[in-house]
A and B are shown apart, each in its own frame.
Chain A
Amino acid sequence: MFLFKRLRGMFSNDLSIDLGTANTLIYVRGKGIVLNEPSVVAIRQDKGPGGPKSIAAVGAEAKAMIGRTPGNITAIRPLKDGVIADFTVTEKMLQYFIHKVHETRFLHPSPRVLICVPCGSTQVERRAIKESAAGAGAREVYLIEEPMAAAIGAGMPVSEARGSMVLDIGGGTTEVAIISLNGIVYSASVRIGGDAFDEAIINYVRRNYGTLIGESTAERIKHEIGSAYPAKEVREIEVKGRNLSEGVPRSFKLNSNEILEALQDPLSSIVGAVKTALEQTPPDLGSDIAERGMVLTGGGALLRDFDRLLIEETGLPVVVAEDPLTCVARGGGRALEMIEQGGSDVFSTD
């Protein structure tokens, strides 16, 4: 059995997977990012409750279904706060993605897989991720902590004996870590991320406009006019939602200042986590960080002027990584390359 898996492994690519709450990215060694799809699965259940379930769609196709499904289809996100909320569905999703990147192969793929996990995840959560990857056909599963992968992917000199601070704002979690000599000196994870921003916008609109908007609308608002720091120009967007008192869809306008106000709560939680990390940092590493600054990665780093907010709040230089959405997957890919070079100290197998 072992030999057979090994044989199949010869026909599979090594993968680095950023299994995120919002998006799943797969990096293939030597090819780069080959898959970037939302972590959403649409499940069809015919013949009433208790009937047989089948996968209707996965990824982008399934995401388009969120909030627009008929009774027999449910579009769900199997990960919540960076960890698995629905084990079976996560396994199916991973299986689908692994197959998708091995499309042309006729043999069942059995790759070595490196998966990024939030640093705040428990042993149980890590095991769940490992098992679901193994269930999806992985030959060997390695785990790496997300901020470490993010720092490597951003191109930070993690191997140096100098402090590097990274803030990775994902869909479900925000991870802050101080890294030196390939190891994490301090790390903290707050379960606030891009999803919390969307939720804050939904709540704000309901409270102030008496109107209900969906998750996808809230995400669109965030992408178009969301910002973390007051800007000179005020931008506007027209959105449609269901008016709660009239019960009919209504169109209305929102501006960037309102969204800035709406995002205050989650933003201050993230800033709080950064400040706590700086307080906990040993002074020598702290001075390295003060000299070079911290690096922002993850989808949240794309929120307009997030770096300005952090500069003002912490008084340190803040740098946004290039292509922040793919940093974690790329970093995982580089760590995976180290396996060939006789193991590494940046990831674990337990």
Chain B
Amino acid sequence: MTDTHVEQPIEPYQSPPEGPGKALRSTREAKRLTPESVSQQLRLDLAHIHALEMDEYEKLPAPIFVTGYLRAYARLLELDAEPLIAAYHGLGMDKTPDLVQVARRGSVGGGAPVRWISYAMAAGLVVMLYLAWQARAPEVPELVSGPAQDMAPSVSGMESPMVVREPDVAFSDAEPESDRSGPAESPSAPVVTKAEVRAPIPPPAPPATPTTLSRASLSLIADRSSWVEVKDSTGRRLFYDLMNPGQSRTLEGVPPFEVLLGYAPGVTVEYNGQLFDHARYIRNEVARFKVGSADAGGR
């Protein structure tokens, strides 16, 4: 490493530090070219040539064009273009134009807000379904009686116009309509009564079964996470989910309960408030057993 003084590169055209314009102009004058002839040869506006020579870059288009013009001008004057372009860049007026969005899209879809709204709606739907399932679970028998009652009037409604049509012989005029409506009521009336007679039979039957049997409670406390399935004697699924550590659930239903524990050592079972030992049913950490029946003890 020899400490020699760094020689400054010689400015070949004595271009002033402020820009390449002066060098272009002096060289052009030395070559006895008029701005008009330069403009014609480079196919540039005369105003652009003047702006280049006066270093008035704000009158010229984007920097890409300015460097291009400088290069073409330098070639015409048989100059080296690079020092000229470096001088131009040295002015700090060569900012690349920003890439801006011309028009913002409104609600054309696919945008972030639309996506988030749909996510929220999907989450809401899941929560509502879960709540509906929870609320519905103990009231299954009532649902059975519901449709049976609805059926009766709909059946009578269906039948009444058919009954009316059958005796109808003169169907040409609109006038007899009032006459027809008179007799129409008489055949429809017995049909409704018939349906009413039939209807009361099925509804009391389904609710009768659960009320006759006594209900019992089953508590599950998870120390470790475990898959748990519980069905009661009516075949209704009381629980069908993963239990996390620390979670506990109390289920009510008609005994005996059919229980499946995915990780049995991690779950404590209580039947009607009493601890139920399921250790003897555990096979490979899985236990499958009935609680509340005669063999399992405790009714």
Contact = CB atoms under 8 A, between A and B. Distances in A.
Contact of A319 (B68, B97, B100, B112): B68
Interface in A305-348: 307, 311, 315-322, 334-335, 337-338, 341-346
Contacts, number: 82
Interface string A168-189: 0000000000000111000000
Contacts of B97: 155-160
Interface stretch (A2-10, A100-108, A112-120, A288-296): A288-296
A280 to B, nearest CB: 21
Interface pairs A-B: 6 shortest CB-CB? A319-B68, A157-B97, A155-B64, A155-B96, A292-B61, A159-B100
Which of B42, B65, B99 has its CB near the most chain A CB atoms (within 10 A)?
B99
A111 B81 CA distance: 40
Given A315-B43, A316-B43, A343-B105, A321 B64 contact: yes
Interface of A: 152, 154-160, 181-183, 291-293, 295, 307, 311, 315-322, 334-335, 337-338, 341-346
Interface of B: 42-45, 61-65, 67-69, 71-72, 96-103, 105, 111-112
B102 A182 contact: yes
A176 B42 CA distance: 21
A292 B68 CA distance: 10
Given A181-B102, A318-B68, A318-B72, 6 more contacts: A152-B99, A155-B97, A291-B45, A295-B64, A311-B43, A345-B105
Contacts of B111: 343
Contact of B62 (A155, A181, A334, A341): A155
Contact of A317 (B72, B99, B101): B72
A343 B65 CA distance: 28
A322 B67 contact: yes
Nearest to B98: A159
Contact of B99 (A158, A183, A320, A343): A158
Majority SS of interface residues in chain B? Answer: loop
A320 B67 CA distance: 9
Majority SS of interface residues in chain A? Answer: loop
Contacts of B43: 293, 311, 315-317
B102 A345 contact: yes
A317 B67 contact: no
Contact of A157 (B62, B69, B105): B62
A334 B100 CA distance: 11
22 contacts: A155-B63, A156-B64, A156-B97, A159-B101, A159-B102, A182-B101, A291-B45, A292-B61, A293-B43, A293-B65, A316-B43, A317-B43, A319-B69, A319-B71, A319-B72, A321-B68, A322-B67, A335-B99, A338-B99, A338-B101, A342-B101, A342-B112
Nearest to B103: A345
Contacts of A338: 99, 101
Contacts of B99: 152, 158-159, 182, 334-335, 337-338, 346
Contacts of B68: 293, 295, 317-321
B40 to A, nearest CB: 10
A317 B68 CA distance: 9
Contacts of B62: 155-157
A320 B198 CA distance: 94
B101 A319 contact: no
Contacts of A321: 64, 68
A325 B96 CA distance: 18
Contacts of A293: 43-44, 65, 68
A317 B69 contact: yes
A322 B71 CA distance: 11
A319 B105 CA distance: 34
Contacts of B96: 155
A22 to B, nearest CB: 23
Nearest to A162: B61
Contacts of B72: 307, 317-319
